[in-house]
């Protein structure tokens, strides 16, 4: 009997050890999978806010069983000029909660405390440190981790947990790994745009198309617009308007395509006689632009970027003959149904200020950053 009992105990011990090993391996695999998915997000051609939103989804989805989170959390980025945390991604935040947490000062509530101390914070309940409480929120705890580059603050990750949950050492290691990878994503994106465009400095970029190099200036303009938009306070607000202005410089300034020619290349005015619906996809226009670009390999579109603590100014200058700005504005209602002229209209509603030189071949837009 004793021998059989000892065998049973031994088997149970072996099963328990193997179960723990399997659980450890599964946790390790999950961590590697999550880090791989976060790395893939960093390689995407999207703005930083979108990357952080996607990253938060990955973290909540793949680490929620481990951290016992309630699929709720947030990522803040450190706004250095304003010395505040800015909420850029969140899940399960009410509109009131979003408004209260939109910007936090160092030391304000739990996330502000982490920003101030640069240390992880684990709260098992809503205690006195929890200065900003969500409306009608159930009891919960927090795992809050600073996102750092050395000791330099880049942001804060806040994950909601079940109340009374105390993170294990393994969970703390995984949180550190996530924070380190988020730091890499932020540094990579800022290195591509923000670090290049330091406050109170200016730089000038000249684009030149060459048939020998086979550059697609429409694609180049799109990529440049995304780069410039990443240096603004709101990527989504400005990227389309910047691309419209750059494409205008290419098609009118380099290629010499008139408004009437563009209307014809894009099929005419929808609903009017002579409209060619086969051209509405814009392919005929695109083919003509690329054809004319090959005929003018030495013409250049110049982009000047200047950023100060108060504003961003971008000037786009093309080598064309320009246009009569006053006459164009007078005909805006008449041109409303035409497939051209909308870029200027979009720009004038988006930017804080827009102006043209006398010739009409250079446009300057201003974005006030509130510094």
| 228 within 8 A of 314, measured Cβ to Cβ | yes
Predicted confidence at residue 48, as pLDDT, reads 81
CATH superfamily of 43-192: GAF domain (3.30.450.40)
| 119-134 per-position pLDDT tens digit | 999 988 777 777 776 6
Q: Which of 370, 263, 250 has its CA nearest to residue 316?
A: 250
Within the chain, which residue ranges are assigned CATH 3.30.450.40? 43-192
- Identify the CATH assignment for 202-368 out of 3.30.565.10, 3.30.70.3190, 2.40.10.10, 3.40.50.300: 3.30.565.10
What pTM value is reported for the model?
Answer: 0.49
Each residue's pLDDT tens digit, 29-74: 566 666 667 667 666 667 788 888 988 988 888 766 655 556 889 9
pLDDT tens readout for residues 69-95: 568 899 999 987 678 899 999 998 888
Q: What pLDDT is attached to residue 198?
A: 44
DSSP code for 44:
S
pLDDT given at position 24: 63
User: Which 3 state secondary structure label does DSSP give 199?
Assistant: coil
Lookup result for tokens 């809503």: 126
All CATH 3.30.565.10 domain ranges in the chain, comma separated: 202-368
Residues 73, 60: contact at Cβ < 8 Å? yes
Instruction: Note the Cα 361 to chain centre separation in Å.
Output: 31
């Amino acid at each position: 009997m004793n021998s059989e009992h000892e065998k049973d105990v031994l088997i149970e011990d072996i099963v328990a050890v193997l179960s723990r090993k399997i659980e450890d391996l599964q946790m390790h695999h999950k961590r590697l999978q999550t880090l791989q998915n976060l790395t893939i997000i960093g390689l995407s051609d999207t703005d930083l806010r979108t990357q952080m939103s996607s990253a938060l989804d990955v973290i909540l989805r793949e680490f929620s069983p481990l951290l016992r989170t309630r699929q709720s959390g947030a990522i803040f980025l450190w706004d250095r000029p304003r010395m505040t945390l800015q909420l850029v991604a969140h899940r399960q935040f009410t509109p009131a909660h979003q408004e209260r947490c939109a910007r936090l000062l160092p030391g304000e509530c739990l996330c502000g405390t982490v920003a101030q101390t640069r240390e992880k914070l684990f709260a098992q309940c809503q205690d006195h440190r929890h200065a900003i409480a969500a409306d009608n929120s159930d009891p919960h705890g927090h795992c809050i981790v600073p996102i750092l580059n050395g000791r330099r603050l880049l942001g804060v990750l806040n994950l909601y947990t079940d109340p009374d949950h105390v993170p294990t050492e393994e969970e703390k290691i995984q949180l550190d790994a996530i924070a380190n990878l988020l730091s890499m994503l932020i540094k990579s994106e800022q290195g591509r745009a923000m670090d290049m465009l330091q406050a109170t400095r200016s730089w000038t970029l000249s684009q030149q198309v060459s048939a020998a190099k086979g550059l697609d200036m429409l694609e180049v303009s799109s990529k440049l617009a995304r780069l410039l938009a990443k240096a603004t306070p709101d990527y989504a607000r400005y990227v389309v308007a910047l691309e419209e202005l750059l494409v205008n410089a290419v098609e009118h300034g380099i290629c010499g395509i008139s408004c009437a020619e563009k209307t014809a290349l894009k099929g005419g005015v929808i609903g009017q006689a002579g409209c060619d619906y086969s051209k509405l996809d814009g392919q005929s226009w695109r083919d003509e632009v690329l054809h004319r670009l090959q005929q003018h390999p030495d013409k250049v579109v110049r982009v000047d970027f200047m950023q100060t603590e108060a504003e961003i100014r971008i000037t786009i200058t093309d080598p064309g003959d320009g246009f009569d700005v006053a006459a164009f504005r007078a005909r805006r209602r008449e041109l409303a149904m035409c497939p051209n002229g909308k870029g200027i209209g979009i720009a004038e509603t988006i930017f804080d200020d827009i102006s043209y030189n006398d010739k009409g071949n250079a446009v300057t837009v201003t974005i006030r950053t509130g510094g």
